[in-house]
Structures are given as C-alpha cells and as structure tokens.
C-alpha cells in the first residue's frame, strides 16, 4: 500500500511540471481552469491536427507605435498544442529605430534568431554585468530566464527575428511600463529610481500612467 501511495505521489509531482511526462500531449482547453503547469487538457476525442499547427507568425506585426516594434506570440492557448510541452514561439518585427524595451520573462529562458536586418541585443546579469552583442542575419543569442534583456534595431532598414521560449507561457514584464504605465504614486517612483518629479511625470504622460 505504501508503495502505491509513493507511486501516485511521484506521478503527481511529474505531472505538475510537464503534462508530456505522463501523456502524449495536453492540448489547451481555454474554457477549463489553469494551474501552474498550464491549461486543462482538451478532451482527446476533440483534438485535431489543427491544434498542433499555428499560422499567426506568417504576418508582420504593426510597428506603428511608441516602440516602433511588434511582438506576435505563439503561446497557449492560441497555439493550443504547445500546452504543457515547455516550448513556445514569437515573432519580433522592428521598424527603423524600433526597440523591445528592457523586460523579463519570469517563466522561461529565450533564444533569438535574426532573420532580417541588424539587431543589438543584450541582457544584464544579477551581478549587473552587461552582455551585449550586435546580431546579423542568421545569428542567435540566448537570454537566461528571469534576467532583464532587450532588442534594438541598429540597422538601416526593418529587422525581423523569431524567438523560442522554454515554456508554453513564459510570462512578460516590461520595465518602463511597470514603472510608468500604471498608478504607482510618482513620489514612490522618484524615491526608488532617483529620477526627478519632472522626469517621472513626463514618462507617465508618454506611457499613460497616472498618480
């Protein structure tokens, strides 16, 4: 009896980290509840080949915005077949001068490959050391999980890259928006960033923050 309990305990741990460890797949059911491993599994009888294919990365994103860039994700549940497989994708389109600002993915590491143009990319370690590289077509770079990183179009024309993540839901927090696109009181932002009241209010105005 103890052996059976131990087996079920181990299986519960495995299934909490990856559905694929005990199932062939777990296609996301967006109508069901979520848990730390992802979405609930769709009824296998309702799964089709379309759940394992995604065409959303074929079209360029709209770069007519403040950062002159667009990120088109292929995450669960939109790409339902990725659920529980610890992998996902995204497309990065950067117009001239476009930038993906300093940001972090708390749930996954990232690998980028440049398809077109020139991209300056880098990340900052927990020891505040900067790793910066200018990437051309065919070049790749990895960004470790949870570390602040960025991508900047440093070429003369548009740039295109694809990225892969070690999670079907890597998460995202963009530093400038976290500081200036919400209602965090300006005096707290000033105290924690050493920026002046004028600078903070200007950035809040640009990014839509209040208070």
Quick check: 141 and 167 in contact, CB under 8 A?
no
How far is residue 188's CA from residue 67's CA, in Å, rounded to a whole number? 25
DSSP output for 62-118: ---STTSEEEEEE-TTTTGGGTTSS-EEEEEEE-TT-EEEEEE-TT--EEEEEEES-
Q: Is 6 annotated as a binding-site member? A: no
- Give the residue from 140, 129, 69 showing the smallest Cα distance to 98: 69
Structure tokens at 127: 């020891």
Quick check: 119 and 55 in contact, CB under 8 A?
no
Q: Is 131 helix (H, G, I), strand (E, B) or coil?
A: strand
How far is residue 201's CA from residue 131's CA, in Å, rounded to a whole number? 31
Q: Is 49 annotated as a binding-site member? A: no
Structure tokens at 5: 């309990």
Q: Is 149 annotated as a binding-site member? A: yes
Backbone angles phi, psi at 181, to 5 degrees: -110, 25
Q: Is 179 helix (H, G, I), strand (E, B) or coil?
A: helix
Q: Which residues are annotated as a binding site?
A: 103, 105, 110, 149
Q: Which residues are annotated as a binding site for oxalate?
A: 105, 110
Q: Which residues are annotated as a binding site for Mn(2+)?
A: 103, 105, 110, 149
């Amino acid at each position: 009896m103890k052996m059976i309990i131990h087996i079920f305990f181990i299986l519960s741990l495995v299934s909490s980290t990856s559905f694929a460890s005990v199932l062939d797949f777990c296609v996301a059911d967006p109508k069901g509840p979520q848990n730390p491993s992802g979405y609930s599994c769709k009824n296998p009888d309702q799964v089709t080949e379309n759940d394992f294919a995604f065409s959303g990365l074929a079209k360029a994103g709209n770069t007519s915005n403040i950062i002159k860039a667009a990120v088109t994700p292929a995450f669960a549940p939109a790409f339902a077949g990725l659920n529980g497989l610890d992998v996902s994708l995204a497309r990065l389109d950067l117009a001239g001068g476009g930038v993906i600002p300093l940001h972090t993915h708390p749930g996954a590491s990232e690998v980028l490959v440049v398809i077109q143009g020139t991209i300056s990319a880098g990340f900052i370690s927990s020891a505040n050391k900067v790793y910066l590289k200018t990437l051309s077509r065919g070049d790749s770079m990895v960004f470790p999980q949870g570390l602040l990183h960025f991508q900047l179009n440093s070429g003369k024309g548009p740039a295109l890259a694809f990225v892969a993540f070690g999670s079907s839901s890597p998460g995202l927090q963009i530093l400038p928006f976290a500081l200036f696109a919400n209602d965090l009181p300006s005096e707290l932002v000033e105290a924690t960033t050493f920026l002046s009241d004028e600078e903070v209010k200007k950035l809040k105005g640009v990014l839509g923050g209040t208070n």
